[in-house]
Amino acid sequence: MEPDQSTGEQPTESSAADADADAADAQAGSQDASANETQPKLSEDSPQAKRLAYVHDADDVIASEQPRYEEGQQCTNCQLYQGTPDDEWAGCPLFAGKLVKGTGWCNAYAPRSG
Ligand code: SF4
């Protein structure tokens, strides 16, 4: 018994990939802090918010369910908060297109360094 080593493989040539590699600028790089007020506010009930256990008020965090939470943590002192500490609402890259509340918290909280 001889093993048949002939693999009937044929090189497939896909010659139709002649697309113009146009850089589609899907994202306009204008991130203006003043755009804060124009975005909708994140709802605590949205699936995105629930996924990260986001709440508008860090005092509402149930510490026993959120072991990462420590008192004093809130969006305004999270490094992902895109506003100033004085902004009541501001953007957060984890909730693109929505504003999170300065007093809020989610389980992706990361302390602001410096
Ligand atoms: S990542 Fe930070 S700023 Fe964004 S919602 Fe969570 S705690 Fe707030």
Residue 6 CA to ligand 1 center (angstroms) comes to 59
Task: Give the number of domains in the chain.
Answer: 1
Predicted pLDDT at 11: 46
Predicted pLDDT at 38: 80
Ligand 1 atom with minimal separation from the 82 CA: 3
Question: Is 13 among the domain residues?
Answer: no
Predicted pLDDT at 77: 97
Q: What is the pLDDT along the chain (114 residues), one digit of tens a residue?
A: 444 444 444 444 443 333 333 333 333 333 444 455 689 999 999 999 999 999 999 999 999 999 999 999 999 999 999 999 999 999 999 999 999 999 999 999 999 986
The one-letter amino acid code at 95 reads F
Residue position matching structure tokens 């709440």: 55
Instruction: Give the DSSP letter string of the chain.
Output: --------------------------S-----GGGGGGSPBPPTTSHHHHHTT-BS-GGG--TTT-TT--TT--GGGBTT--S-TT-SEEE-GGGTT-EEETT-B-TT--BPP-
Predicted pLDDT at 36: 55
CATH number, domain with residue 81:
4.10.490.10
Residue 82 CA to ligand 1 center (angstroms) comes to 9
Question: Is 1 among the domain residues?
Answer: no
The domain in which residue 87 lies consists of 35-101
